[in-house]
Amino acid sequence: MIDKAKTNAKLGVDVAELMREKGIETPMVDGVVPSIDELEVLYTKVHQSLGIDLEDDSIQDTPRRIAKLQVNESMKGLDYKNFPKMTTVENKFYDGMVSVNDMLIMSMCEHHWERIVMRVSIAYVPRKGGKVVGLSKFSRLADFFGSRPIVQERYTQQLFEALKYIMDTDDVAVHVRGIHLCMFARGVKEPCSSTTTTCLGGDFNVDMATRKEFMDGINIALPILPQ
């Protein structure tokens, strides 16, 4: 179950409008509220169409398990009422870059609904008197946008623009390296490739030392890749 105490629906509305203005919103139909009961019916039909015996005691509750998983976890990012609380405070003493590296985010390819395993790194440069945010908030934000069907390029831009808006600064960087199981486990069956996407703003774009500090801090090795 989603902890509403850790969400900010009003901020979610603002960020949703920003995503639409920037042309990077996930394709969604307005006004649709995901329903566990409706999804249970649909997943029951899927199992029946595949010839899976829902009378078996191991499987009989699976359609509802999947429905609850989608609404409360895998697809919670489709509902901006679940947008994470991103409380900011004034930066009174720090002068330098802040980065949170190698956050492991699980998402889903919007083309095949195969899993994407991503290692996400985020950084920003707070100014004196500017805004800072608790470190765990970066992980919650990365998870929110990952909890929906994605393409990695759009996902990276969504994180980038949301952070710029919330932190009120252009000095933001986002780096994502993903393993796409739609390539890894099906189709071309390419187990050794990864996909990298990067968005850089402000100082990260024009100051090579700042960019290098960020890029040098990224652990580019993924645990499921051969070492």
Hey, which residues are catalytic here?
A: 109-112, 152, 180, 182
| 95: exposed, middle or buried (Cβ count in 10 Å: 0-12, 13-18, 19+) | exposed
| 168: exposed, middle or buried (Cβ count in 10 Å: 0-12, 13-18, 19+) | exposed
Distance set, CA 167 to CA 63, 130, 170 (Å)? 40, 8, 8
User: Rounded to whole angstroms, how far apart are CA atoms 155 and 146?
Assistant: 7
Helices (H), the chain: 9-22, 36-49, 62-69, 136-146, 152-167, 181-184, 203-206, 208-216
Q: What is the DSSP string of 31-43?
A: T----HHHHHHHH
Task: Indicate the angle between helix axes 36-49 and 62-69, nearest 10 degrees.
Answer: 130
Q: List the one residue out of 150, 128, 147, 131 whose CA is nearest residue 139.
A: 147
